[in-house]
Chains A and B, each alone.
Chain A
Amino acid sequence: SYELTQPPSVSVSPGQTARISCSGDALPKKYAYWYQQKSGQAPVLVIYDDSERPSGIPERFSGSSSGTKATLTISGAQVEDEADYYCYSTDNSGNHRVFGGGTKLTVL
C-alpha cells in the first residue's frame, strides 16, 4: 500500500521558520495537500495542489513540492500555529488516498 512519510515532530521558536516534509513515491506526479489539526478540533485545509492557499489561511503558510518530497513552510511561526500537520496525496493510480502519519509542531 502507498505511504507518505512525515517526521513525528518539529520544534521552532516563535518567529522562526518551520518546515515540515512529506515524502512519497508518487509526489512527482500527484498533488500534495496539507491539513492543520489543533487539539480537539476538526482538520483545516491550509495548502492544496502543492502550493495553493485557501482563502482565510495566513500568508505565512506556503507549500512546495520537488521530486518525491513536498514541504509545508510556516514563515514566522506563531504560538497559535502549534498543531498536528498532515500531508495527503494519492498513489500514481489515483485509487489509493492516504494521509501521512502527522507531524506535531511545537512553537515555544
Chain B
Amino acid sequence: GQNIDQPTEMTATEGAIVQINCTYQTSGFNGLFWYQQHAGEAPTFLSYNVLDGLEEKGRFSSFLSRSKGYSYLLLKELQMKDSASYLCAVRSDSNYQLIWGAGTKLIIKP
C-alpha cells in the first residue's frame, strides 16, 4: 500500500527552529511537496524536492533522502504566523495524483 506518515502535532517557541519529519512508502517516487495550510484555508505551496539533498528558500528548507523514504521541513526564526498545519505529499511514478499525509499541526508559543 501507499502510506505517508507525519507527526500529528508539534509545539515550538517563537524565534526557535523546528523540524517536521515525513516518511513515505509509495509504489514509485516522482517528487515530494510540502504545503502550509492555515485553519479553514487552502494549502499553499512551500517546497518541492525530487533529488536528494537540501532545498533552501528563505526561512524554510526541505530535505529529501529517497533511499530512506524520508523528508523533513525545517522552519527557522519561527513567527506566530507560522502556526498552521504542514502537509507532506508525494507524487508516485506515472501518476498525476498526489498522495497526502494527514498533516502536522504546528503550534507556536510566545
**Does chain A bind chain B?**
no
